[in-house]
């Protein structure tokens, strides 16, 4: 295992993008901006604020330009945009995104289903985007979707994941996200893959993206953290359900993750009380209950009143 | 850390007792028996099958005698009964429970609220029960409730937990359960306490009982397992919500735990397909959705059909 460079666990908040993208309820642009602005003052250093995909493909996020143009950018916060192709990259650059996040699946079948092209075509498109972005000062990250398992193909060869990481770096992409797109990862597998990837790139360049589809999201975070990973995607309220598992939860929940860190003494720099206030506003915004648990249970320090009868025992 | 004596993770199924006790819907005695009988052939070696508490206190479990008398006992399965006092112990012995599980809270306030007596009175009652049971061949276990935190008092001194474990052993109780009654434990705390307790008793005598109230149940299991613990309570479907955190989930979910073990290569001896079938029957029995996630998401191996359009890319 590589030496652990720092203790702090960096949370990249993805609710405004990955969280909202499959929501059936339209969220007004002003509400998206208000959410991002509130997150910007809660201690995050990275927020995935929107995407520049086809409005037909993801209508919930069709207002990417307006969002990026109107948010109140805080110094020290990196505002990330998901982009699927060169056209999306151009839109994101025009809207002053600080970082572009590209996506390809480790699984050929999943990449064809999600991106409607082969992995080879995706990698070629990455090269075009790198050339477009080079010299602009905008950061580049690329995600390996289905890195821990594919809902169509099942197991994904770990050597293939490593080869894709190498291919991303060779194309000229600095940041890598390993994404457990449909919540199939387990902690032993996570520790193995993270250890291999951190032999190739520094912890500051690696993000882990877990879904809690089968209840293992936070256990996978701890396994990755113990193996040296320091940056994790999470969504307020646990937003972002998986279309293949209705009723199972989506992204790991930011406030549940920050609570875990607070209780274990792992610094995050994030204000958990602010998060809870924001999370408790999501059901009114989206019209349904959230999978996150801390917003319902409260923190450990939120003590319950002692029943009256106890005083007489 | 003490040497790990064996790899197998033993799951004690507690749905018929801890799972059902706060359900508002009455479950017919025949349905309880059918559930226990089905669990008995799914690979469990321990099932907490009922309790012998006052029918006024826990009306949902008022049929303890009928349940214990009518279940089809399988060889190799230990049927455990929760008992709160000497009278409960006498009823459990008369109903041929294989093991009695006693309960006291580490927190004085919680013990007064839950057991309506001081910890000192609880310990004295344990002594009476040990004398009653001695020589009968029936096993004795006692739980330290709120061992990782109390909803009334907050943090629990770890030395107090250790002192209670010692007191239980001195009274003559073989088995110890450390219970995170309202889901306040974190993995570092769990590793610390489990390591200390396993310096005092063998892994075969220790059970960990986690709730998933704040989403940390399975992460806590892994921390305990890595520290040498091998026996864990879990409830089918994640039954057993906490009355202090409505909407947050209850006991850790048996099928989610067994799936974690299957994926990580930790043997349990439990048939996950049978569990899933049983779990998927719970909403019809109890009239509400379950917090467990695997029953909704399916196993990793349950692949999804490839969309038609993918074939043409």
Residue with tokens 């399988």: B74
In a domain, B146, yes or no: yes
In a domain, A3, yes or no: no
Region of residue A43 (phi > 0: left; psi between -120 and 50: alpha; otherwise: beta):
left
Say if residue A297's pLDDT is above 80.
yes
pLDDT given for residue A6 in this prediction? 74
The pLDDT mean for chain A works out to 95
pLDDT given for residue A246 in this prediction? 66
Is some CB atom of chain A closer than 8 A to the CB atom of B241?
Answer: no
Is some CB atom of chain B closer than 8 A to the CB atom of A31?
Answer: no
**Mean pLDDT confidence for A254-265:** 98
In a domain, A271, yes or no: yes
With cut-offs at 50, 70 and 90, classify the pLDDT of residue A312.
confident
pLDDT given for residue A244 in this prediction? 58
pLDDT given for residue B134 in this prediction? 92
**Interface pTM (ipTM) of the complex?**
0.96
With cut-offs at 50, 70 and 90, classify the pLDDT of residue A144.
very high
CB-nearest to A264 from B155, B183, B187 is: B187
CB contact under 8 A, A215 and B306: no
pLDDT given for residue B242 in this prediction? 64
- Minimal Cα–Cα distance from B266 to chain A, Å? 11
Say if residue A3's pLDDT is above 50.
no
Residues in chain B where the model's pLDDT stays below 70: 1-5, 242-247
pLDDT given for residue A1 in this prediction? 39
> Is B253 assigned a catalytic role?
no
**Mean pLDDT confidence for A262-270:** 97
Q: What percent of chain A has pLDDT over 70?
A: 96
Number of domains in chain B: 1
Contacts of B253 in chain A (CB under 8 A): 215
In a domain, A1, yes or no: no
pLDDT given for residue B126 in this prediction? 97
CATH number of B226's domain? 3.20.20.70
Is some CB atom of chain B closer than 8 A to the CB atom of A264?
Answer: yes
pLDDT given for residue B164 in this prediction? 98
In a domain, A296, yes or no: yes
Say if residue A2's pLDDT is above 90.
no
Is some CB atom of chain B closer than 8 A to the CB atom of A296?
Answer: yes
Contacts of A305 in chain B (CB under 8 A): 152
Q: Which residues of A are catalytic?
A: 242
Alpha-carbon gap, residue B226 to A35, rounded angstroms: 40
pLDDT given for residue B6 in this prediction? 74
The 3 state secondary structure assigned to chain A is CCCCCCCCCEEEECHHHHHCCCCCCCCCHHHHHHHHHHHHCCCCCEEEEEECCCCCCCHHHCCHHHHHHHCCCCCCCEEEEECCCHHHHHHHHHCCCCEEEEEEECCHHHHHHHHCCCHHHHHHHHHHHHHHHCCCCCEEEEEEECCCCECCCECCCHHHHHHHHHHHHHHCCCEEEEEECCCCCCHHHHHHHHHHHHCCCCHHHEEEEEECCCCCHHHHHHHHHHCCCCEEEEEHHHCCCCCCCCCCCCECEHHHHHHHHHHHCCCCCCCHHHHHHHHHCHHHHHCCCCCCCHHHHCCCCCCCCCCHHHHHC
CB contact under 8 A, B214 and A151: no
In a domain, B3, yes or no: no
In a domain, B171, yes or no: yes
Is some CB atom of chain A closer than 8 A to the CB atom of B260?
Answer: yes
Domain extent, residue B269, equals 10-312
pLDDT digits (tens, 9 = 90+) for A146-203: 999 999 999 999 999 999 999 999 999 999 999 999 999 999 999 999 999 999 999 9
Scanning every residue of chain B, which has its alpha carbon at the shortest distance from the alpha carbon of A222?
B219
pLDDT given for residue B296 in this prediction? 94
pLDDT given for residue B243 in this prediction? 61
pLDDT digits (tens, 9 = 90+) for A33-64: 999 999 999 999 999 999 999 999 999 999 99
Contacts of B303 in chain A (CB under 8 A): 151-154
Query: Looking at chain B from residue 171 to 210, which residues have their Cβ under 8 Å from any Cβ of chain A?
Result: 183-184, 186-189
């Amino acid at each position: 295992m590589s030496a652990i460079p720092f203790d702090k666990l960096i949370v990249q908040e993805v609710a405004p993008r990955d969280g909202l993208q499959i929501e059936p309820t339209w969220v007004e642009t002003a509400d998206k901006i208000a959410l991002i602005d509130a997150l910007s003052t809660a201690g995050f250093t990275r927020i995935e604020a929107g995407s520049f995909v086809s409005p037909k493909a993801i209508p919930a996020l069709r207002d990417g330009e307006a969002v990026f143009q109107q948010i109140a950018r805080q110094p020290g916060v990196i505002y990330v945009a998901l982009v699927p192709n060169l056209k999306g990259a151009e839109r994101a650059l025009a809207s002053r995104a600080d970082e572009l996040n590209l996506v390809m699946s480790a699984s050929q079948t999943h990449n064809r289903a999600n991106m409607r092209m082969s992995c080879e075509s995706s990698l070629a498109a990455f090269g075009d985007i790198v050339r477009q972005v080079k010299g602009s000062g905008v950061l580049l990250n690329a995600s390996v979707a289905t890195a821990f398992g594919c809902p169509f193909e099942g197991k994904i060869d770990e050597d293939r994941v490593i080869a894709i990481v190498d291919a991303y770096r060779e194309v000229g992409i600095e940041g890598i996200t390993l994404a457990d797109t449909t919540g199939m990862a387990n902690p032993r597998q996570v520790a193995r893959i993270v250890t291999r990837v951190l032999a190739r790139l520094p912890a500051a360049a690696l993000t882990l993206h877990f879904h809690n589809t089968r209840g293992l999201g936070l256990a996978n975070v701890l396994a990755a953290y113990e193996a040296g990973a320091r940056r994790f995607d999470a969504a307020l309220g646990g937003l972002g359900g998986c279309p293949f598992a209705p009723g199972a939860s989506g992204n790991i929940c930011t406030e549940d993750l920050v609570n875990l860190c607070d209780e274990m003494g792992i610094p995050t720099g994030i204000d958990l009380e602010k998060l809870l206030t924001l999370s408790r506003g999501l059901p009114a915004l989206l019209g349904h209950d959230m999978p996150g648990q801390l917003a319902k249970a409260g923190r450990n320090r939120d003590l319950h009143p002692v029943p009256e009868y106890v005083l007489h025992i």
